[in-house]
């Protein structure tokens, strides 16, 4: 019987090999995780938890991105971490309103928040942001054609309407590439889901709701005909888009199709609808001249006055409450009312003759703008 024994390494070589194994493993882990900074924060994150803005070519703006994109959804094959992965904490958080920014002479046109920053547009054509804790104002884009008319966000980009275009820019690339997603005629309201950007138009003939892929470069498609109302308000849920239709609240499938008036009762119709918001069950909207915040079921039917208001302009909602801004001609102020009932309460009142045109929310704060100022108050 013949026994075959494995060849033995010289003892010195074996010891050297064993000593190298831990170093090799550590190098492999470091390379896989992207390395680490001297402050203990990984190279792909900043001290406040946001990812580093110096991404590689897999996360370049659509016009420069070599990553294949789905022509229907406009999404990357592999998306990077969101710019704001979690809300940031503010050391000065208190019960009083705080001024986050003041740009003399600017008129705020649209506002949005993501838990890290507040973004807004200006009548002069600028898109800017500031940390929700205050600090330096960052310019995202300048010299847009005509005034900015609407601003919205997703996890990676800011989107806006201005003049004859619908555009976007990456949150992590302020002052960088601006992508024109579509041409438009007098665009106004804007909203996004995970695949498309939607906007309203008010041409000389009947207005419309349109959409285009978030990646840009795709053909825009008509979602619904608005009619001759002022298409300032629009909101989305999972399947449908909600908008004003000849003084009525209506909805249509996101991919196009027949519109349906919600056919509310109780004097809910009006030709002065300013803003629209939706939750799982209801549509909320403001009637500016009539002086009311309204509510109607998303499926249509009975609705009515949710809360009295003084020439209310834009509104925003969370799970528990509705927030809106009153016109300064009637005293102004940022208001809140619980969805389950109760009288409206004032979070703050107008300090001057400027109206609070827009309001935005994150999980902790309400934000609004007036006279070139961006303000914050606990919800």
Distances in Å between the alpha carbon of 260 and those of 69, 79, 91, 153, 331? 33, 36, 48, 27, 37
Residue of 249 and 72 predicted with greater confidence: 249
Mean pLDDT for 241-247 is 83
Residue 279 lies in a domain: yes
Two tokens, residue 279: 């939750």
The torsion angles phi and psi of 22, rounded to 5 degrees, stand at -60, -40
Residue of 330 and 233 predicted with greater confidence: 233
Mean pLDDT for 268-282 is 82
Q: What is the pLDDT of residue 97?
A: 82
CATH code: domain of residue 276 = 2.120.10.30
| Predicted confidence (pLDDT) at residue 174 exceeds the cutoff of 90 | yes
Residue of 271 and 179 predicted with greater confidence: 179
Question: Across-strand partners of 70?
Answer: none
Number of domains in the chain: 1
Residue 286 lies in a domain: yes
Q: What is the pLDDT of residue 64?
A: 35
Per-residue model confidence as pLDDT tens digits over 283-307: 999 988 888 999 999 988 878 899 9
Q: What is the pLDDT of residue 360?
A: 97
| Predicted confidence (pLDDT) at residue 21 exceeds the cutoff of 50 | no
Two tokens, residue 98: 């705080």
| Predicted confidence (pLDDT) at residue 8 exceeds the cutoff of 50 | no
Residue 129 lies in a domain: no
17, containing H or E segment = helix 11-33
Using DSSP, state whether 377 is helix, strand or coil.
Answer: strand
Two tokens, residue 154: 């997703």
Two tokens, residue 4: 């075959």
Residue 344 lies in a domain: yes
26, containing H or E segment = helix 11-33
- Least confident among 175-179, 203-207, 253-257, 362-366: 203-207
How large a percentage of the chain has pLDDT more than 70? 70
DSSP string computed for 281-349: SEEEEEETTTTEEEEEETT-S--EEEEE-SSEEEEEE-SSEEEEEE-GGGT-EEEEEETT----EEEE-
Residue 75 lies in a domain: no
- Residue 22: pLDDT band (50, 70, 90) is very low
Residue 272 lies in a domain: yes
- Residue 47: pLDDT band (50, 70, 90) is very low
Residue of 185 and 37 predicted with greater confidence: 185
Mean pLDDT for 240-257 is 89
Residue 184 lies in a domain: no
Mean pLDDT for 168-197 is 93
Residue 20 lies in a domain: no
Q: Is the Cβ–Cβ distance between 43 and 52 less than 8 Å?
A: yes
Average pLDDT over all residues of the chain: 77
| Predicted confidence (pLDDT) at residue 74 exceeds the cutoff of 90 | no
Distances in Å between the alpha carbon of 280 and those of 57, 236, 299, 335? 38, 11, 11, 22
Two tokens, residue 96: 């009083």
Using DSSP, state whether 42 is helix, strand or coil.
Answer: strand
Q: What is the pLDDT of residue 63?
A: 39
Q: Highest mean pLDDT range out of 11-25, 123-137, 239-253, 261-275? A: 123-137
Domain enclosing residue 275, as ranges: 262-379
Mean pLDDT for 355-368 is 88
């Amino acid at each position: 019987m013949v026994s075959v024994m494995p060849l033995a390494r010289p003892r010195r070589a074996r010891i050297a090999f064993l000593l190298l194994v831990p170093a090799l493993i550590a190098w492999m882990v470091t390379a896989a995780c992207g390395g680490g900074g001297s402050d203990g924060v990984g190279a792909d994150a900043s001290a406040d938890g946001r990812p580093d803005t110096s991404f590689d070519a897999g996360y370049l703006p659509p016009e420069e991105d070599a990553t294949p994109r789905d022509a229907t959804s406009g999404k990357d094959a592999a998306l990077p971490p969101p710019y704001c992965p979690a809300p940031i904490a503010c050391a000065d958080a208190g019960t009083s309103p705080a001024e986050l920014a003041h740009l003399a002479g600017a008129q705020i046109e649209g506002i949005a928040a993501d838990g890290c920053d507040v973004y807004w547009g200006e009548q002069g054509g600028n898109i800017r942001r500031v940390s929700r804790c205050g600090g330096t104002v960052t310019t995202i884009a300048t010299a847009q054609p005509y005034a900015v008319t609407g601003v919205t966000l997703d996890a990676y980009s800011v989107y806006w309407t201005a003049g004859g275009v619908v555009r976007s820019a990456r949150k992590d690339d302020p002052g960088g590439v601006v992508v024109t997603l579509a041409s438009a005629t007098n665009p106004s309201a804007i909203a996004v889901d995970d695949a498309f950007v939607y906007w309203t138009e008010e041409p000389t003939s009947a207005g419309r709701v349109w959409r285009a892929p978030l990646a840009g470069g795709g053909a825009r498609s008509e979602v619904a005909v608005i009619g001759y109302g002022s298409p300032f308000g629009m909101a989305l849920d999972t399947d449908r888009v909600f908008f004003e239709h000849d003084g009525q609240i209506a909805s249509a499938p996101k991919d196009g199709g027949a519109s349906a008036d919600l056919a509310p009762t109780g004097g809910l119709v009006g030709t002065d609808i300013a803003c629209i918001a939706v939750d799982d069950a209801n549509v909320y909207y403001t009637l500016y001249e009539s002086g009311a915040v309204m509510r109607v079921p998303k499926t249509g039917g009975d609705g009515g006055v949710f809360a009295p208001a003084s020439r209310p302009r834009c509104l925003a909602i969370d799970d528990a409450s509705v927030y809106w801004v009153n016109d300064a001609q009637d005293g102004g102020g940022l208001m809140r009312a619980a969805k389950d009932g109760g009288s409206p309460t004032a979070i703050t009142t107008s300090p001057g003759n400027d109206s609070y045109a827009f309001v935005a929310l994150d999980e902790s704060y309400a934000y609004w703008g007036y006279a070139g100022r961006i303000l914050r108050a606990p919800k």
